[in-house]
Structure 1
Amino acid sequence: MAQERIGFVGIGLMGRGMAKNILAKGYDLTILAHRRREAAEELVAFGAHEADSARELAERCDIVILCVTGSPQVEAIIHGPNGLASAGRPILIIDCSTSDPSSTVRLATELSAKGMALVDAPLSRTPKEAEAGTLDVMAGGREADIERARPVLATFAQKIVHTGPVGSGHTMKLLNNFLSLGYAAIYAEALALGAKAGLTAQVFDSVISGGRMDCGFYQTFFKYVLERDRDAHRFALANGLKDLSYLSAFANATQTPNPVGAAVRNSFALAVGTGHGEDFVPMLSDIVAELSGVVAKPSG
């Protein structure tokens, strides 16, 4: 059986590393033309082809991976002018974006009627792991579609969990991000409260690091807090707010109380509303400190 030809849309912070790993594993890869010419030219130099439209991508490829901001972008790529669906080919679409599960389920139904298939396969971890090929993937879809997608996902993921039917991957991703972004809001407030009492970030870390409250997310968050490493966790606050808004919509649709989620969303909405949408998540600590009238300091 001939090897699947792979298309890729979204060679941004995460997608660039993912695409490089697909190429490194020997797949024929075509990327959608992107405004980030540096990333596109790097991938073309590694052997990727470039398509001018999503339709052209679908005409060339058997599997198309999407790694874009969210559901509006996914819907436009699939159903927009010269979109993937317009090619009329029975491709498999793998949506690695963090999307609204209700949109994902609707798209899967629409695509199935056209002989196409959709797997939602959002990601966990950071651009560093995307580059290393060690991301985590939570994948929703039919068993046959998951198994077809698995070899490609394995080029950039160390862990692939089949979460259930279409939409379950994106639902799990929202829960995952609820936990991580909730940690971010708590860390930021705790640091501000500590600063009011004269406790520096250094002292805070000396207590938490290595203890029961330590975790991988804590480590990347505090790599910025303590070392001012802007690249420790390159995930924009605006994207965090988008994900928390999807979570809120999901909670409303299922009539599930989500008061903590609302509080976390408000923290991110405040940060974005005050002009910090493009800042990365650990920088929430600086924003909360400023709003609280304290100065965040990396050391004692």
Structure 2
Amino acid sequence: MSTLLLFSRSFFLASNGRRQLSNVGFIGLGNMGGHMAKNLIKKGYKLTVFDVNGAAVSSLVEAGANGASSAAEASKNADVVISMLPSNQHVLDCYFGEKGVLSSVKKDVLLVDSSTIDPSISEQVSTAAKKIGARFVDAPVSGGVNAASAATLTLMVGGSKTDFEDAERVLVAVGSRVIHCGKVGAGQATKLCNNMLLGISMIGTAEAFILGERLGLDPKILASVINTSSGRCWSSELYNPVPGVLDNAPSTNGYQGGFGTALMTKDLGLAQAAASRTETPSPLGSIAYQIYRTAMGHGHSKLDFSVVYQFLKGKQ
């Protein structure tokens, strides 16, 4: 590209008050992040990716991304950095580590963390980002692996209005709904409330179908009634925990893939910590947390969280 064209493009972006956001660093290529990264490539973004799993990086390189050997390398030339990581500590290591994001990013970069973590961690990263002239939003997602693959995720964003608007321009490539929930941390708070309800509703759905089975009901018929009646919910209609009811649900695939029991347990624990901190009564959330912790103790940690159906049936 000629110098004149480069200048013209920069002038166009500046004159419209819109930053260039074409170079994306993506960190965390697991069940969700891998699909999100591939959808960004499909939409024409130039990606540099990093994950501790070398095979995951290789898969994205084959899809058109550039591979990196660290979070810092993936971030150093990026206009936007997106992270999708399992836990509080992973996010802290990603941003604050010796080869972390904050050690290499350029001024005014937009940092987007789509992990599900404690809101206070998002606030901590945001404060550190501001000190080096970077911007930060938290943008956890909902919808599961199928939605990540289909680019129909819901993203809950916490940050300033300006930063949200810039993030939205990129995030529409991975989701069908991008919602501004408030200040930094509000996206995480929204996600924790959502996932607490999801964990509770999955247990309720599992209990109802176990009872139906023991009363001699066909689970497909029971599902058809529930899903057109007052018991209808996402767990029964789109993610049914009974094998064979839905062809594309993890339950029909041996509870492989999907949203792991360990991750649901983590999110329920975060919700309980928030409930305790704010002195909010959460009896069902607390019970759900204990049920999933026990399910993990019986070897279900790596299986999809809908495996609680088998756990409650006594099939350990």
Verify same fold: TM over 0.5: yes
Give 1:123's aligned residue.
Answer: 141
Structure 2: gaps (5+ residues): 1-12, 14-19, 246-250
For the structure 1 residues 212 and 244, does the alpha-carbon distance in structure 2 shift closer, same or farther, using more than 3 Å as the test? same
**Residue 42 in 1 paired to residue 66 in 2?**
no
The secondary structure found in structure 2 opposite 1:68 is coil
Which of 108, 131, 135 matches 1:113? 131
Residue-pair matches, total: 291
Distance 2:82 2:67 in 1: 14
Q: Does the aligned pair in 1 maintain the 2:58–2:67 contact within 8 Å?
A: no
Amino acid at match of 1:42: S
Amino acid at match of 2:186: S
The secondary structure found in structure 1 opposite 2:29 is coil
* Percent of matched pairs sharing the same residue: 32
Give 2:279's aligned residue.
Answer: 255
Alignment of 1:1-300 (within 5 A): 1=13, 2-37=20-55, 39-87=56-104, 89-90=106-107, 91-222=109-240, 224-227=242-245, 228-230=251-253, 234-290=258-314
CA apart distance, 1:167 = 0.2
Distance 1:206 1:49 in 2: 46
> Which moved further from structure 2: 168-177 or 43-52?
43-52
Structure 1: gaps (5+ residues): 293-300
- The structure whose RCO (Cα within 8 Å, separation 6+) is larger is 1
Distance 1:136 1:149 in 2: 14
CA apart distance, 1:190 = 2.4
Distance 1:47 1:152 in 2: 18
TM-score (norm 1): 0.90
Deviation string 1:269-294 (CA, Å, 9 cap, x unpaired) is 110111111111221101100169xx
Distance 2:218 2:105 in 1: 59
For the structure 1 residues 24 and 206, does the alpha-carbon distance in structure 2 shift closer, same or farther, using more than 3 Å as the test? closer
Q: Does the aligned pair in 2 maintain the 1:5–1:29 contact within 8 Å?
A: yes
CA apart distance, 1:205 = 2.0
The secondary structure found in structure 1 opposite 2:239 is helix
> How big is the alpha-carbon RMSD for the aligned residues of Structure 1 and Structure 2?
2.0
Q: Does the aligned pair in 1 maintain the 2:261–2:301 contact within 8 Å?
A: yes
The secondary structure found in structure 2 opposite 1:205 is helix
TM-score (norm 2): 0.86
Deviation string 1:80-123 (CA, Å, 9 cap, x unpaired) is 12111112532221011111111111221222122222101010
Q: Does the aligned pair in 2 maintain the 1:182–1:261 contact within 8 Å?
A: yes
Amino acid at match of 1:225: P
Distance 1:234 1:248 in 2: 23
CA apart distance, 1:223 = 6.3
Q: Does the aligned pair in 1 maintain the 2:113–2:140 contact within 8 Å?
A: yes
Distance 1:288 1:117 in 2: 45
The secondary structure found in structure 2 opposite 1:94 is strand
The secondary structure found in structure 2 opposite 1:225 is coil
CA apart distance, 1:212 = 2.6
